[in-house]
Amino acid sequence: MRAPVAIVTGVGRRIGIGTAIARRLAAAGVDLLLQSWSPHDAEQPWGVDPGWPAPLVDELTALGRAVAHVEADFADPDAPRRVVAAAAERFGGVDVLVANHARSSSQDLEHLTAAEIDLSYAVNTRATLLLVKEFAATHDGTHPGRVVLMTSGQHRGPMPGELPYIASKGALHQLTASLAAHLAPRGITVNTVNPGATDTGWPDPETEQAVLEVEPMGRWGTPEDAARLIGWLAGPDAGWVTGEVVNSTGGGP
């Protein structure tokens, strides 16, 4: 029997949540298809992580896992099908989907544009839904099916400066229960994780301090904090958990 196989999207930065998830799943004996899209990172203040994730592929391969990587722009409506097809062709099946990718943008009401709303929904909501569709069609029941989506805490407090982002992420929150109910008869669980404020190198000093002031544990979340929860939800012990939005925030907002 083949090893379990996972697709993990959004693995474009060495200090990102996607990288931590990939390492966690590989340590659990999972083979991996990793997706990234470097032009999005190039638009962001943190920029592209040069050469990544090739070193991660080498690292996890050295651990004995089969690992592949694709660049795919989820603004393209056919990209989700191609990503799932690449995983199924390379590994013979797909058992876990972790939709960790996201388009990030900063637009408040006064600066809101139709183009950014449409693009955020295309990448964050439409692509995720299509990934779930293709994954469910490919899943053959060899291993339990697991889908993990990502949201961003927009249900726990206002985020007025990121309206396209929170609208598209809020849609995933609301889709969780319906997707879970639909896929439960096929043995596929669907859960969504809100990882809370996670330090992946993006916060400026002002933001860093503001978060620390409301964090009961006195620190930001780490990518590994999120990866531990996602690794559990993706594994066999989480078979009775589905349709949940899980807040992993250290007790903070």
CA distance 114 to 107: 11
Crossing angle between the packed helical segments 163-183 and 127-138, to the nearest 10 degrees: 20
Q: Is 165 a catalytic residue?
A: yes
Q: 103, 165, 179, 238: which one is catalytic?
A: 165
Task: Name every residue whose Cβ is closer than 8 Å to that of residue 90 and which is 6 or more positions away in sequence.
Answer: 33, 66, 68
CA distance 137 to 67: 22
- Parallel, antiparallel or unpaired: strands 145-150 and 96-99: parallel
Torsion from C-alpha of 10, 128, 65, 48, nearest 10 degrees: -10
Q: Quick one: 139 exposed, middle or buried, by C-beta within 10 A (0-12, 13-18, 19+)?
A: buried
CA distance 161 to 66: 41
Q: In Å, how far from its chain's centre is CA 225?
A: 14
| Residue for token pair 């206002």 | 158
CA distance 173 to 125: 10
Catalytic positions are: 165
